[in-house]
Chains A and B, each alone.
Chain A
């Protein structure tokens, strides 16, 4: 059904989507908390930086990643020397590029869900003997679940489709960084690749639609679980 190359691109995309979502989640939770619950100075700046990938051309983000995390950049060199992690030309690099691009989407969903958590209910939990950390784990996070689920699905779907930052930062290497969108691009550049491109386009659309549908279904279930309409 699928050729080995197509299958490889599909599996790589799924892997990147999952890894990028997992990478985003802890940071998105922390940033949402900072933006929603604190009055720290520089909050507006943080908000702007987080949302930059939504409005900047992806190639700009890719280039910024390249000059900050490339092997010749200090941070990139440090990553390679101490952790042995090289990001350009590797799947890890694709994950980082996808994560940066998907991050604002996840933060928006999670922050919105955090804003709707009733502080009065958290206070009630504290009068019942729960410390702040306990309240966070036993009350706040469960009540944020609809937002966490839909934010994760959004990030996953967006990571599947990331193109500009990926090709700029991690390049287009078969089996390493060639995800579905890059494979489609490559096929369109090949003389008789139209059939392959079309099949991959269909695959991408099916993936995206099912991810969104699954996200809707999960967050509706989570909302019903919390008794919200």
Chain B
């Protein structure tokens, strides 16, 4: 486990962190800007020093105020990918990549060639940082942090400074590396889209306090966290796999625990795991199975809970069996349909709503994930 229990007085916000997250896979630290996300990872990195508490990654104690332990940054064995790539301007790409590798002590499970290959850095090695595009710079920064042989990778909004096309360019690399190198990752982001594509575990931080921590799919399907995620973006996250493609209509069918979803064509082979985020606002509720509507994604279930929201809205959680699907509807509709806990309903989602922003690869860490081995 990665145990983070500490407090720190900061300028505008007091940091009060109290979570334990798995020391594997990607854990997203999600919150609005100014919520204290960066301060949290900075404390893990040793950049800021908590006033009190404990920071432990697996067996290693980084900070313990009671035992007066405060391991210096360079001895924590973490890789840190900053929002701005922070490449060394006086070194070539290869020099940047080698910087941490040379200084790594002990075993070197992260192999040079596999990093170059996974991040597509071969053609950049001789270049200087100021001759790289924004996306290329991000990839080099990722590679540099990986080659440092970290026991934990910290990423502080690594995509935030990139425009949308560059983001789309770099995101698949991040998805790939979390799986390829079997590293625990703390990924700071205020983009729920990035978070749902990348993370298995989610920590929500608000005004300096960690307010929720758990499996991402679980946290996302709980109505109480919706205000922190945002009314527009919040919704359930379903782990699915590709079942079939329909070339004529350019549609793909996905299978999940409680049924199927028809979505716009996904460029992945049948059987590939994908993750779908269904925004609560894109889900409608009917009392009987609607026959004469355009919507094909219709799933029977029972109302689990109804939470009135500010304004005209109500958050309805529909239990589909083993999946909880959130629907944001008006309170007026709620009353008109006479919805209450236990009511049998049909939940409906338009296929069109499930575009590429809400469907992403789902790279679950493989339980047997073998470390890449050096070719020699």
Contacts and interface: CB of A to CB of B under 8 A. Distances in A.
Given A120-B84, A227-B129, A129 B90 contact: no
B73 A225 contact: no
Contacts of A127: 45, 73-74, 76, 78-80, 145, 148
A79 interface: no
A139 interface: yes
B99 interface: yes
A141 to B, nearest CB: 10
Interface in A136-150: 138-139, 142-143, 145
B82 A120 contact: yes
A139 B74 CA distance: 14
A111 B79 CA distance: 31
Contacts, number: 68
A134 B75 CA distance: 13
Given A143-B89, A225-B90, A227-B129, A128 B82 contact: no
Nearest to B75: A129
B214 interface: no
A101 B79 CA distance: 47
A121 interface: yes
B108 interface: no
B214 to A, nearest CB: 28
A118 B82 CA distance: 13
Contacts of B84: 120
A159 to B, nearest CB: 28
A150 B131 CA distance: 25
B134 to A, nearest CB: 14
B9 interface: no
A124 B80 contact: yes
Contact of B100 (A121, A129, A139): A129
A163 B17 CA distance: 65
Contacts of B76: 127
A131 B74 contact: yes
A77 interface: no
Please tell me the size bucket of the interface on B: 20 to 34
Contacts of B88: 121, 124-125, 139
Contacts of A138: 99
A123 B148 CA distance: 14
B318 to A, nearest CB: 45
A176 B47 CA distance: 55
Contacts of B82: 120, 124
Interface in B48-101: 72-80, 82, 84, 86-90, 99-100
Contacts of A134: 74, 103
Given A121-B88, A227-B129, A227-B130, A129 B80 contact: no
A191 B148 CA distance: 73
A227 B100 contact: no
B251 interface: no
Nearest to B47: A123
B144 interface: yes
A123 to B, nearest CB: 6
A130 B105 CA distance: 11
B128 interface: yes
B12 to A, nearest CB: 20
Contact of B148 (A129, A227, A228): A129
Contacts of A131: 72, 74
A126 B86 contact: no
B104 interface: yes
Interface string A68-92: 0000000000000000000000000
B148 A118 contact: no
Q: Which of A123, A124, A131, A142 has the most CB of B within 10 A?
A: A124
A124 B86 contact: yes
Contacts of B145: 127-128
Contacts of A121: 86-89
A131 B46 CA distance: 13
A64 interface: no
Contacts of A126: 72-74
A165 B369 CA distance: 73
Interface in A176-229: 225-228
A156 B72 CA distance: 41
Contacts of B89: 121, 143, 226-228
Contacts of A225: 90
Nearest to B129: A227
Given A118-B86, A226-B90, A227-B130, A129 B103 contact: yes
B100 A128 contact: yes
Given A142-B90, A143-B89, A227-B128, A130 B80 contact: no
A11 to B, nearest CB: 36
Contacts of B86: 118, 120-121, 123-124
B103 A128 contact: yes
B130 A129 contact: no
Given A120-B82, A124-B80, A124-B82, A130 B103 contact: yes
A215 to B, nearest CB: 19
Interface of A: 118, 120-121, 123-131, 134, 138-139, 142-143, 145, 225-228
3 closest A-B pairs (Cβ-Cβ)? A227-B130, A129-B103, A128-B100
Given A126-B72, A134-B74, 13 more contacts: A120-B82, A123-B73, A127-B78, A127-B145, A128-B100, A129-B100, A129-B104, A129-B148, A142-B90, A145-B90, A226-B130, A227-B89, A228-B89
Interface of B: 45, 47, 72-80, 82, 84, 86-90, 99-100, 103-105, 128-131, 144-145, 148
